Amino acid sequence: MEFGTRLPVLNARQSGGARSRVISKVMSALEPSSTFLFQYTYSRLSKSTATDIKAKYNVVVIGSGYGGSIAASRAARAGVSVCVLERGKELQPGEYPDDIHQAARETQVDINTGDSIIDCKLGQPTDLVDVIVNHDVTVVKGCGLGGGSLINANVGLDCDPRVFEDEAWPKAFRDDLAAVNGVDREHAWQMLKPAPYPRRYPSLTKMGQLKKAAKAVAKEVLDIEDVDKVFYRPTLYVNFKDTKSNHVGVPQLACVGCGNCCSGCNYGAKNTLIMNYLPDAKNHGADIFTKVEIEAIERDGEEWRVSYVTHADDNAGEERILRADIVILGAGSLGSTKILLNSRKR
Ligand SMILES: Cc1cc2nc3c(=O)[nH]c(=O)nc-3n(C[C@H](O)[C@H](O)[C@H](O)COP(=O)(O)OP(=O)(O)OC[C@H]3O[C@@H](n4cnc5c(N)ncnc54)[C@H](O)[C@@H]3O)c2cc1C
Ligand code: SF4
């Protein structure tokens, strides 16, 4: 078994300032038994050696964000051969940036404004935070095993069916709303385990200020006296209880309140996809590879031909091929579109 990282809890306890005070408060609110869990290490889920990729799989999943990881877990559970290919690296708790310099080193920027003086590419295509600057739209997305889940803000809300009734959605989509609203979301909740910020945790200044603002809006705009009718603690994809082995066998610490969720959780408390769907896929036989970027997919008889390059050291940049019965495009809205556009050119 290949072992990952040791959690940097001592660093957090020793660091000074407001962050350390919040962490100390949270730790004193945790169960006393929690400290023994600070010894945890994490196993690697992926390989970055492209030579281990087999020539053919039943299912090839491109990208390892929510779309890719959920599909990989479900397909692996169905007993077919599954391969997940992710462009970014695998970062386990303890390996995420912890200060502005480390964050800068984990950021890739692609500026495409049409102005040759400022247009450029900075960083590596495997860096964690992926920023694309265009003339009128700038996009920030996650790049790594777990995709956007690694750097998102953890807020996990169920979708309100009224959102999909908006005429902005394509007609074909609106005509199929029964199927959209009927999706088994209960399964996702059981895997991602959303939970509100617990009342036993320290009160947060920002939450207090938001409640104050909500009270004013409720009274003056909505004519509602009871703020609790409009203000609530949303559910978060965060673990608030130490566990040696979660529902897929991964250890997780309770959240220490460090506030670094959007640069990656170094405590294993955030319920990112490397804490649930991806280990589940691996437990059910999926092969997972990082630093592998798909260039294009093409139909070849009964199969799909998937062309990729690797960013790992072994023959990096050389185009290779694997084959699949089914390809699942889970490279995000921009990444999947880019693959489809590249594929059309071939
Ligand atoms: C800072 C931030 C905060 C957010 N906060 C929230 C929040 O609080 N709540 C919420 O619900 N949503 C939030 N989101 C949005 C949410 O994270 C995304 O909607 C979600 O991650 C999208 O999932 P996805 O599977 O479509 O794509 P992604 O998660 O983007 O995954 C796509 C993966 O594919 C990989 N990839 C791309 N191209 C290729 C290629 N050619 N070959 C191989 N791999 C490739 C990428 O590296 C990436 O890992 C936030 C996003 C960001 C950036
Ligand atoms: S979930 Fe966020 S606040 Fe909690 S320990 Fe992880 S990074 Fe810190």
Specify if 162 maps to a domain.
no
Cβ neighbour number for residue 122 with a 10 Å cutoff: 12
Specify if 133 maps to a domain.
no
Q: How far is 274 from 288, CA to CA, in rounded Å?
A: 11
Report the separation in Å between the CA atom of 59 and the middle of ligand 1, taken as the mean of its atom positions.
21
Report the pLDDT value the prediction gives residue 19, as an integer from 0 to 100: 60
Q: How far is 156 from 234, CA to CA, in rounded Å?
A: 8
Specify if 221 maps to a domain.
no
Q: How far is 258 from 233, CA to CA, in rounded Å?
A: 18
**What is the residue range of 285's domain?**
3-95+150-156+233-345
Ligand 2 neighbours by CB, cut-off 6 Å: 238, 255-261, 265, 267, 269-270
The closest of 46, 58, 63 to 308, measured between CA atoms, is 63
Specify if 283 maps to a domain.
yes
Specify if 135 maps to a domain.
no
What would you report as the CA-atom Rg of the chain, rounded to the nearest whole angstrom?
A: 22
Q: How far is 173 from 4, CA to CA, in rounded Å?
A: 43
Best of 238, 253, 262, 272 to mutate for ligand 2, by most ligand atoms within 8 A of CB?
A: 238
Q: Is 254 exposed, middle or buried (0-12, 13-18, 19+ CB in 10 A)?
A: buried
CB 339 less than 6 A from any atom of ligand 1:
yes
Nearest atom (ligand 1) to Cα of 336: 38
For 251, the token pair is 């250890």
Specify if 216 maps to a domain.
no
Count: domains in the chain:
1
For 174, the token pair is 């609106």
Specify if 311 maps to a domain.
yes
Report the separation in Å between the CA atom of 92 and the middle of ligand 2, taken as the mean of its atom positions.
14
CB 147 less than 6 A from any atom of ligand 1:
yes
Best of 74, 141, 309, 340 to mutate for ligand 1, by most ligand atoms within 8 A of CB?
A: 141
Cβ neighbour number for residue 235 with a 10 Å cutoff: 18
Report the pLDDT value the prediction gives residue 316, as an integer from 0 to 100: 77
Residue 44, domain CATH:
3.50.50.60
Nearest atom (ligand 2) to Cα of 265: 7
Give pLDDT tens digits along the chain (346 positions).
Answer: 233 444 444 444 444 566 666 666 666 665 544 444 455 789 999 997 878 999 999 999 999 999 999 999 999 999 999 999 999 999 999 999 999 999 999 999 999 999 999 999 999 999 999 999 999 999 999 999 999 999 999 999 988 889 998 999 999 999 999 998 888 889 999 999 999 999 999 999 999 999 999 999 999 999 999 999 999 999 999 999 999 999 999 999 999 999 999 999 999 999 999 999 999 999 999 999 999 999 999 999 999 999 999 998 777 788 999 999 999 999 999 999 999 999 998 8
Alpha helix (H) ranges present in 230-345? 277-283, 332-345
Best of 62, 152, 270, 297 to mutate for ligand 1, by most ligand atoms within 8 A of CB?
A: 152
Report the pLDDT value the prediction gives residue 266, as an integer from 0 to 100: 95
pTM above 0.85, yes or no: yes
Ligand with the closest atom to the CA of 235 = 1
Report the pLDDT value the prediction gives residue 34, as an integer from 0 to 100: 46
CB 63 less than 6 A from any atom of ligand 1:
yes
Specify if 109 maps to a domain.
no
Amino acid letter, 224: I
For 183, the token pair is 């999706």
CB 188 less than 6 A from any atom of ligand 1:
no
